[in-house]
Each structure stands twice: as structure tokens, then as C-alpha cells.
Amino acid sequence: MNANLVNQLVRPEILELSAYHVPDSEGMIKLDAMENPYLLPEKEQVQLGEWIRTAEINRYPAPHAPDVKALIKTSFGIPKDKDILLGNGSDEIIQIIAMALAQPNAVILGVEPSFVMYKMIATFLRMKYVGIPLRANDFQLDLPAMLEAIRVHQPAVIFLAYPNNPTGNLFHLEDIQTIIEATSGLVVIDEAYHAFAGNSFLTALAPYAEKVVIMRTLSKLGLAGLRLGFLIGDPAWLAEFDKVRLPYNINVLTQKATVFALENIDIFNQQAASIVEQRHVLFTALCDLGLQPFESQANFILCRVPEAETVFLRLKTEFHILIKFMGKAHAFLTDCLRFTVGSPEENQLLIQALTVILKN
Ligand SMILES: *Cc1c(COP(=O)(O)O)cnc(C)c1O
């Protein structure tokens, strides 16, 4: 192996990166990745097995998956005049959008802290990433700073997660609208957590449809393993994005399982509703422990915890509970942990463990 050759040929900004880290979770209570804790009920598991049995895995998948798209539209109440683009997770959709817009010197504008893939994908595609800090006190958009960044950098695209990850809040709608009006680029509203949120931008989309698209995913709803994200937007945008999508990006099993899942969407909506209930339970319990959780509209809670990294490590080693330590993500978050809302039993174990740890 000639390491010199690697160093010589690979772009320096790639050499500098560390690969996206996924911690080993074998045997752990997994409250780190915003997964839905529930499987399908036994009866539907059997039905899914039966339904998948006849999947034509000898064939390439349908490139446009019209049945999946039609079901997405009816399941999520998406207006008829919008098109749908499917991605191998919404991560792939971020990449597709960026690939289509990556003209020389094109800028991606985001906020900090937010979802890390916007910046990573900008780096992959040699785009410039500009991240504007949120307001430190309430994690809302710093509107004057955003408007200044739009003026100075003229971003090709702005990514806003609604609700935001890792802070869990919804940005003020009027701020988003002001940003949309100010930019001459595209705005992507990333609604990965819409199933748990009190609002969606879909209802506010109509007047801005020329420069706004909405991105969603089935991952947080309970289907992270399938890898299916989708983009909602005007046909003119989606037709261009579709050109950079690899032809068979959604595999046969995912397409088939998605149809089954969407025909049983009530199960997932009920699970989401119970996760929202559990979010309230967990929030109250964290307050009762004397901690400072932030209000969340998602299926996780960001929380200030004294000696956060020690608490994270003790949860992992002594209690086999995996959560996310946010201290390295942003200066605002040095003492923050992010807890995914789990099942009632998992949340109970988390609270019990925190009670022990915080006492000594
Ligand atoms: C989890 C997450 C995604 C990625 O979802 P996938 O569809 O699983 O790729 C996108 N955006 C935000 C804000 C997320 O938190």
C-alpha cells in the first residue's frame, strides 16, 4: 500500500475529514439516533413477510416508482400540483440537490447547530458552506445575521431543518418567510421530524413554491432501515433534480415494503403519537431531576446536564444506555446531551440511571 499515492490523489479536504461516526450499539438501549423504538405488531410483520415474498428481486427496481409516489401523496396530504422525488434516505436528496446546484463558487447556507450532513455534502461537492449561529438563548434564527449572510454570500441554497436537529425547536414561521423573500436562491425546508411536530411548512408553501421545496423522510417515523426520503416541490425543480439521481436509487425491497407501510400508515401515526406523549413524560422527569431540557417538537430532547460528557460515558458503560453527547458539535452545546425518546420502559430506565448518576 502506497500511502503517499493516496495522500497525493485524494482531495485535501477529503483527507481532512473523519468518516461519519456510528457508535457500536450492540446490546445497548439505543437512544442516540432518533429511531422509533417500535417494530410492527406481530400480525403486520407476518403480512409484510408474505407481501415481500413475491418481490421481483431478479429485476431492476422501477426507476420512478409511481405507486410509491402516489401513496406518499395521499398518505401525507400533499397537493396534487406538486411532484415527489424519492431518495435513498433524505441524506441522498440533500446530495442530489447540492449536485444539481454546485456551480463554481456556489454557496450552501445553513444554521449552527443543525444537521451535519448539509456541511458534509457541501465539502464532498466542493461547495462553500456558510453556517450562521442560531440565537444562543432560544435557538431561533438570528434574522439580521441571516439576511446579512444572504446579501454577502448570495447562497444557491439554504437548508433549514423544521424542527431543527439537535435543538428540537421550530423556527418562527415569519422569520423563515422573511428569509425566503430575501434570497434569490432555493430554500429547502427539512421536515425529518414532521410526524412529531405541531406544524409543517406544507401549509405555508403555496405563495413560495417557486423557490421552496420540502424534504421529508420515513426514517424517524419508524422505517429508518428502509432508507426512504422524499422531496416535495414544483415539477420544474424536481425534473432537474431527477437528472442527477442515480436511476435505481430505491431498491425493490424498499419500494415494496414502503407500499405496505403506507397502506398501514395508521400504525406509524399511532406510534408517533405515543412517542409525543412519552416526550412530555421524559421532559417532566428531566425537569424533576433539576436538569434544563429544551422544549422539543421532535422525537428527542436536548438537555443541559452538568458534566455532560461524564454522564454520557457513565450511561454507556454502567447502564448500557446510548445517547448523544453534543459537546463537540457546537460551542453552545458544551454541556448538552440529546436523548431520543424511547418506549416507556426505555425512558424509565434512562431516568433511573440519570437519578443514580446525578446523585454521586
Ligand atoms: C435524520 C435526519 C435526516 C436524515 O434522514 P434520512 O432520511 O434517514 O437520511 C435529515 N434531516 C434531518 C434534520 C435529520 O435529523
**For residue range 93-144, what is the model confidence (pLDDT) as tens digits?**
999 999 999 999 999 999 999 999 999 999 999 999 999 999 999 999 999 9
Q: Kindly calculate the radius of gyration of the chain based on its CA atoms and give it in whole angstroms.
A: 21
Give the residue, out of 34, 115, 162, 299, with the most ligand 1 atoms within 8 A of its beta carbon, to mutate for a pocket test: 115
Residue type, 310: T
Distance 34 CA to ligand 1 centre (A): 9
Q: What is the position in ligand 1's atom list of the atom closest to the CA of 228? A: 7
- In b/e form, how buried is each residue of 339-359, taking b as 16+ CB within 10 angstroms? bbbbbeebbebbbebbeebee
Contact 241, 100 (CB under 8 A): yes
Residue type, 349: L
DSSP state of 234: -
pLDDT of residue 348: 97
Q: What is the position in ligand 1's atom list of the atom closest to the CA of 92? A: 9
The answer to whether residue 40 scores a pLDDT higher than 80 is: yes
Give the residue, out of 32, 216, 219, with the most ligand 1 atoms within 8 A of its beta carbon, to mutate for a pocket test: 219
pLDDT of residue 176: 98
Q: What whole-number distance in Å separates Cα of residue 48 and Cα of residue 183?
A: 45
**For residue range 73-98, what is the model confidence (pLDDT) as tens digits?**
999 999 999 999 999 999 999 999 99
- Region of 82 (left: φ > 0; alpha: ψ -120 to 50; beta: rest) is beta
pLDDT band at 276 (very low <50, low <70, confident <90, very high): very high
Nearest CA to ligand 1 atom 2: 192
pLDDT of residue 1: 62
Q: pTM for the whole thing?
A: 0.96
Q: What whole-number distance in Å separates Cα of residue 286 and Cα of residue 295?
A: 11
Q: Report the pLDDT averaged over residues 332-338.
A: 95
Alpha helices in 135-172 (DSSP H): 143-153
**For residue range 144-172, what is the model confidence (pLDDT) as tens digits?**
999 999 999 999 999 999 999 999 999 99
pLDDT of residue 21: 77
The answer to whether residue 19 scores a pLDDT higher than 80 is: no
Contact 7, 113 (CB under 8 A): no
Pocket of ligand 1 (CB under 6 A): 34, 89-91, 115, 161, 165, 190, 192, 217, 219, 224, 229
**For residue range 57-77, what is the model confidence (pLDDT) as tens digits?**
999 999 999 999 999 999 999
Q: Report the pLDDT averaged over residues 263-276.
A: 97
pLDDT of residue 18: 82
21-35, 208-222, 269-283: range with lowest mean pLDDT: 21-35
pLDDT band at 243 (very low <50, low <70, confident <90, very high): very high
Give the residue, out of 32, 91, 159, 249, with the most ligand 1 atoms within 8 A of its beta carbon, to mutate for a pocket test: 91
Q: Report the pLDDT averaged over residues 260-278.
A: 97
The answer to whether residue 259 scores a pLDDT higher than 90 is: yes
Q: What is the position in ligand 1's atom list of the atom closest to the CA of 229? A: 7
Q: What is the position in ligand 1's atom list of the atom closest to the CA of 224? A: 8
Q: Report the pLDDT averaged over residues 14-29.
A: 86
